[in-house]
Amino acid sequence: MRLPREEKGLWLVPLVAVILLWEFSAVFVVKDPLKLPRFSAVVFSIYALRDVLIADTLVSLLHFGIGVGLAFAVALPLAIGMGWSRRVFKAVDPIVELLRPIPPLAWIPLAMIWFHLTHYAAGFIIFIGAFFPILIDSYTGFRDVPKVLVETGKVLGCIGDRKQIRFVALPYALPSVATGTRVGMGVGWMCVVAAEMFAVSDYGLGYRLFQKFYFLHQMDYVVAYMLVLGLVALCLDRLFRHFVEERLFRWKKGIVK
């Protein structure tokens, strides 16, 4: 995204305003660091916690990687099947629509029973969160491949489903797959705290936030970790957009923008 020059620093203004407002209300209005820790205290906490914070972030990223990676690996083939074949769609869709509304948090008991207190238990909750957005967006992409493109493929020698999927449907649907993955990553990250709440490991942003800081009512630390949760997600999203969306889908520009 390239912004015009005068818009470049625009985001800074409201950000600084919000920070000032926060600091001001914490010091002069709320006057209770338990209810609202000061921004400066939170920033200092991030610095003070840096060692454990890095370890926690890495472990959370591990859980995230397991969950989103598996979600992608399972959702993509299923999406190809559902999007490409009406019969597969008809057969599988009711199950998908039944499971989809179940909140990831409701899966926690099962995750505990199935995977005990392991990284996989956390990964599983994140998997549930990330799976459905990836699946839904992806199969929509495969379903909406224009008929004329498939037929063009056929006339040029793409005979059989495998070739048509590989050379026509997949490239056409990739932007939808990417969008779904991006949304899925977002939802998956939101599940990280819940997934780690139950002490699946001795590290993890969610684990520390709930089991340590909140337990001891160290609210400046809690808010510091909240900020880190937001920042990591922001970075992940930016990286994804930079490396996947902007590079791979130059051709989409004419259609979207």
Partner 1 sequence: MNHKLEIRGVTQVFSSEEGEVKALEGVNLEVRPAEFLCIIGPSGCGKTTLLRMVAGLEQPSSGEIILDGKPVRGPSPDRGMVFQEFSLFPWRTVLRNVEFGLEIKGKVEGKVKGKGGGVSGKKERREVAEKYIELVGLRGFERHYPYELSGGMKQRVAIARALATEPAILLMDEPFGSVDAQTRNVLQEELLGIWQRTRKTILFVTHSVDEAVYLADRVAVMSARPGCFVKCLEVDLPRPRKRTSVEANEFREKLLMWLSLERSKAACIF
- Cβ nearer to partner 1, comparing 89 with 249: 249
Q: Enter the tokens of residue 220.
A: 């400046």
- Cβ nearer to partner 1, comparing 83 with 153: 153
- Cβ nearer to partner 1, comparing 37 with 175: 175
The window from 50-58, 155-163, 192-200, 228-236 that contacts partner 1 (CB under 8 A) reads 155-163
Q: Is residue 162 near partner 1 by the rule CB under 8 A?
A: no
Q: Enter the tokens of residue 52.
A: 């454990």
Tell me which amino acid residue 227 is. L
The site that binds partner 1 (CB under 8 A) totals a number of residues, namely: 23
- Cβ nearer to partner 1, comparing 113 with 148: 148
Binding mask 164-203 toward partner 1 (x if CB under 8 A, else -) reads ---xx--xx-x-----------------------------
The contacts found for 213-220 with CB under 8 angstroms, 24 or more apart, are: 217/34, 219/33, 219/34, 219/35, 219/37, 220/33, 220/37, 220/38, 220/41, 220/42, 220/44, 220/45
Q: Is residue 17 near partner 1 by the rule CB under 8 A?
A: no
Longest dimension (CA), the chain: 74
Ranges of H-type helices in the chain: 12-24, 39-48, 50-84, 86-99, 108-115, 119-143, 147-155, 161-164, 170-196, 205-207, 219-240, 246-248, 253-256
Among 32, 97, 151, 246, binds partner 1 (CB under 8 A): 151
Sign of the dihedral through C-alpha 228, 234, 235, 236 = positive
Q: Is residue 3 near partner 1 by the rule CB under 8 A?
A: no
- Cβ nearer to partner 1, comparing 94 with 160: 160
Q: Which residues bind partner 1 (CB under 8 A)?
A: 148-149, 151-159, 163, 167-168, 171-172, 174, 250-255
